[in-house]
Amino acid sequence: MKLKITQTKSIIGKTKRKKATIRALGLRKIRKVVIHEDTPQIRGMIKYVKELINVEPAYQGEAISKKR
């Protein structure tokens, strides 16, 4: 199963560890979306920064376009 993770809040004023966790998930800006496999490591990162992100299941065939 895959998870779709969206950053919903800013990392300004957060601890260095939370900022690093958001970066490790591949998030850079608010409303940026990434898809990850559902693993214990990813679940731990999600739990740590749950107030900054939104998580939902990613459905098969769902693609994320890369906009810069």
Any residues with CB less than 8 A from the CB of 2 and at least 6 apart, and which? Answer: 35, 36, 37, 38, 57, 58
Do 36 and 2 meet the contact criterion of CB atoms below 8 Å apart? yes
Class of domain 2-54 (CATH, top level)? alpha beta
Distance (Å, whole) CA 31 – CA 11: 13
pLDDT over 60 (residue 68): no
Give pLDDT tens digits for 18-53.
999 999 999 999 999 999 999 999 999 999 999 999
Domain boundaries, the chain: 2-54
Return the pLDDT at 57. 94
Distance (Å, whole) CA 4 – CA 58: 5
pLDDT over 90 (residue 60): no
pLDDT over 60 (residue 5): yes
pTM: 0.83
